[in-house]
């Protein structure tokens, strides 16, 4: 099937990987970027006027939950990748805590097939580290590597013992470019936790989880990386001390990377005063000092990427008593706008660094070579075009099947206009094309 030819004219091209930051035209043909230049002419192309829009490499979410197989009432690969596309994403890495768990090649293949049918985003399924996420026996990592998996994580859970994690890191050394991503949480300190342990938690009468529950495991896993020489990625950092630990690990030359979610960059534990379950997340929203350290860490590169941890839950699950509601917020549709509004606009982050954190850095970390730029002739055309000025308010209905957004009711600035996946428009004028 012939793919459409596109001439994206007059966009402000910001390409962190390629170093470009200028108004230019981008010509897309046969799934790749044919040319980037000025005054381009392409007679057979569909012309898309991009005056006032920013053109960047399509965003890459290295931490997302598509819930399929097993929890299709919350989200499916199709609805999730559609939400991703509307949020400007061309690639997502869905976590393995599905039912059945993605701990072997067959589940991985199923997720890939669903994504290929939907054709809304490229999907890089994450494989489990341990069988069934039980934390005891290693999963068939080799088989999954052969099936194309590069990132392994028990996310949702933390690998319980240093011994098991060390074994996993060591075992993974046999494979190229494999990274273990850990959700760092000491379960003995976080049992029954509803939020961050601090003044707010005792004020609200909710069981709290101290930052030390995360810091202790970040420390543990970094030492295991040091011990084994393996590649470690820390999921959804939430505490100041964790940022500091990662900073020191990088300074020591260890192969450690880290991500942070948009909601941890915006909210603190004080925002839970109204018992809004959309703000009930794990790791919990912590103090203002923690948030400040996360913002600094993202700006100075200690934290490599912004990842949404998009966690859909059905309405009736979230609309319940605070302690009964499951943890999580959706985030694919709002991530870019949140980063632009809350970080770039006020000057905490440059636009280039923001796009690097949302696109080129996660692409590199998960080995998604066709994504994240650079935007130049011959490379696959995975792009996002957004209007940095457009104002909107976050409210249902969402493209995602679920609507548990921490940002509900918030006014944001910045909206995706078009998304191009492998040369084809998945989103046109803000709406999904399929």
User: Could you list the active site residues?
Assistant: 309
Q: Is 188 in the site for other proteins (CB under 8 A)?
A: no
Q: Which of 41, 51, 176, 321 binds other proteins (CB under 8 A)?
A: 321
Give me the phi and psi of 278, to 5 degrees please: -65, -15
- Edge-first strand listing for the sheet containing 256-260: 151-153, 179-182, 232-234, 256-260, 305-306
Tell me which stretch binds other proteins (CB under 8 A): 240-248, 317-325, 344-352, 387-395.
317-325
Strand pairing class (20-29; 6-15): antiparallel
Least CB distance to other proteins at residue 284 (A)? 15
Give the helix/strand (H/E) hosting 107. Answer: helix 105-118
Q: Check binding of 396 to other proteins (CB under 8 A).
A: no
Interface mask toward other proteins for 255-274; x: CB under 8 A? -------------------x
Number of residues this chain uses to bind other proteins (CB under 8 A): 18
CA distance linking residue 91 with residue 332, whole number of Å: 11
Q: Which listed residue (175, 219, 322, 392) binds other proteins by CB under 8 A?
A: 322
Name, in order, each residue with C-beta under 8 angstroms of 322's C-beta and a sequence gap of 6 or more: 194, 206, 275, 277, 280
Phi and psi, residue 399, nearest 5°: -75, -35
List of residues 6+ apart from 149 with CB closer than 8 A: 108, 124, 125, 126, 127
Tokens 């999580």 belong to which residue? 328
316 is an interface residue for other proteins by CB under 8 A = yes
**Residue 199 makes contact with other proteins by CB under 8 A:** yes
Residue 279 contacts other proteins per CB under 8 A: no
Q: How far is the CB of 148 from other proteins (least distance, A)?
A: 42
Nearer to other proteins, 163 or 203 (CB): 203
51 binds other proteins (CB under 8 A): no
DSSP bridge partners of 42: none
Write out the E strands in 107-149. 122-123
Q: Least separation, in Å, of the C-beta of 54 and other proteins? A: 38
323 binds other proteins (CB under 8 A): yes
Q: Which is nearer to other proteins, 204 or 394 (CB)?
A: 204
Nearer to other proteins, 194 or 359 (CB): 194
Candidates 19, 192, 205, 253: give the one binding other proteins (CB under 8 A). 205
Angle at 343 between CA 233 and CA 123, to 5 degrees: 45
Binding site for other proteins (CB under 8 A): 194, 198-199, 202-207, 274-275, 316, 319-324
């Amino acid at each position: 099937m012939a793919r459409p030819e596109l001439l994206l004219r007059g966009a402000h091209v910001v390409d962190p990987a390629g170093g470009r930051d200028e108004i230019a035209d981008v010509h897309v043909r046969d799934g790749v970027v044919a040319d980037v230049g000025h005054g381009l002419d392409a007679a057979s192309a569909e012309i898309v006027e991009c005056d006032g829009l920013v053109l960047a490499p399509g965003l890459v979410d290295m931490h997302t939950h598509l819930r399929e197989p097993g929890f299709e009432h919350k989200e499916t690969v199709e609805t999730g990748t559609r939400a991703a596309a509307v949020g400007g994403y061309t690639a997502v890495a869905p976590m393995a805590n599905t039912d059945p768990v993605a701990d072997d090649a067959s589940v991985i293949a199923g997720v890939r097939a669903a994504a290929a049918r939907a054709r809304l985003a490229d999907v890089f399924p994450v494989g489990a580290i341990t069988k069934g996420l039980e934390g005891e026996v290693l999963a068939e990592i080799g088989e999954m590597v052969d099936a194309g998996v590069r990132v392994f994580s028990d996310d949702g859970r933390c690998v319980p013992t240093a011994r098991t994690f060390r074994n996993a890191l060591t075992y993974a050394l046999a494979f190229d470019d494999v990274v273990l991503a850990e959700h760092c949480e000491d379960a003995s300190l976080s049992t029954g936790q509803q939020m961050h342990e601090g003044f707010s938690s005792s004020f609200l009468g909710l069981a709290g989880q101290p930052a030390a529950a995360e810091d202790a495991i970040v420390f543990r896993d970094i030492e295991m990386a040091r011990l084994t020489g393996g590649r470690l990625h820390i999921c959804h950092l939430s505490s100041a001390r964790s940022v500091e630990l990662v900073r020191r690990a990088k300074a020591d030359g260890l192969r450690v990377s880290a991500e942070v979610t948009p909601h941890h960059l915006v909210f603190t534990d004080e925002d839970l005063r109204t018992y809004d379950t959309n703000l009930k997340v794990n790791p919990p929203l912590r103090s203002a000092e923690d948030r400040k350290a996360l913002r600094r860490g993202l700006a100075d590169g200690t934290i490599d990427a912004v990842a949404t941890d998009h966690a859909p839950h059905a309405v009736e699950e979230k609309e319940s008593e605070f302690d009964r509601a499951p943890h999580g917020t959706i985030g694919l549709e709002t991530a870019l706008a949140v980063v632009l509004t809350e970080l770039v606009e006020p000057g905490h982050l440059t636009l280039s660094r923001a796009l690097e954190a949302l696109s080129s850095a996660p692409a590199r970390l998960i080995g998604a070579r066709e994504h994240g730029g650079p935007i130049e002739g011959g490379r696959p055309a995975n792009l996002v075009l957004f209007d940095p000025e457009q104002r909107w308010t976050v409210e249902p209905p969402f493209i995602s099947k679920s609507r548990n957004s921490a940002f509900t009711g918030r006014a944001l600035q910045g909206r995706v206009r078009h998304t191009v996946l492998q040369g084809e428009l998945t989103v046109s004028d803000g709406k999904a094309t399929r």
